[in-house]
Amino acid sequence: MEKPFSEACERNKEPILNILQNVILPTDERLLEVGAGNGQHAEYFSPKFPRLEWYPTDKNLIWLKDVHGRMIQKAQRLDVAKDDFPKLRFDVVFTANTFHIMSWKECKSLIKLMGHRLREGSRVVIYGPFKYHGEFTSPSNAEFDAQLKAKDPQSGIRSFEDVNINMMKQGFELVEDYSMPANNQCLVYVRLKFEAKK
């Protein structure tokens, strides 16, 4: 079976790399990628950070079996509804184009897991489209949201305010909200010294 090629991953890899180069520190040891899909991001980004162990995860591992690299670890299944979060200490969590695919309940579960598992100073990078104050950032995003909901009513472009409130409840502070190409955003959070609310 031929492995799929993601045009979105190809288009956004350089802009995201620019963000990651600002976020990832020389002392960081491990990065967890949530929703790694076909592994294009892992294969492209990992060599740029030769000292960083990259852990790709997905709910369905079918396309990740061929991902390999000196610092890319064996792909792991991650189902946020089942708390499959790897039992390791991660410095960075990166996820791209997942929040609008997952249900909002799954998004909140992932945020809660990160709040319980990440230590002070850890960073979270969330890439994808978002709404602001209930409004889409472009007509194309409104059309995209309608297409998503037609396929799965539980999916859809999330509200930045909803995401931010839930991240704050779990002890994260927004460091930067970057405007990205193709009407996307890149949200960067840092874990504060904070007791996460249950």
* Span 61-94, pLDDT tens digits: 665 666 666 688 888 888 888 877 788 899 999 9
Rounded distance between C-alpha atoms, residue 92 and residue 52, angstroms: 10
pLDDT of residue 151: 96
Residue 62, pLDDT score: 61
CA 22 centroid distance within chain = 16
Residue segments in the chain with a per-residue pLDDT below the cut of 70: 1-6, 8-9, 61-70, 194-198
In this structure, what is the dihedral angle of CA atoms 133, 135, 136, 139, given to the nearest 10 degrees? -160
Dist. CA 126–CA 149, nearest whole Å: 21
> CATH class for domain 7-191?
alpha beta
The whole model's pTM is what? Answer: 0.92
**Secondary structure class of 29 (helix, strand, coil):** coil
Residue 15 is predicted with a pLDDT of 93
R_g (Cα) of the chain, nearest Å: 16
pLDDT of amino acid 80: 83
Where are the chain's structural domains? 7-191
Residues with Cβ within 8 Å of 197's Cβ and at least 6 positions away in sequence, in order, are 169, 170
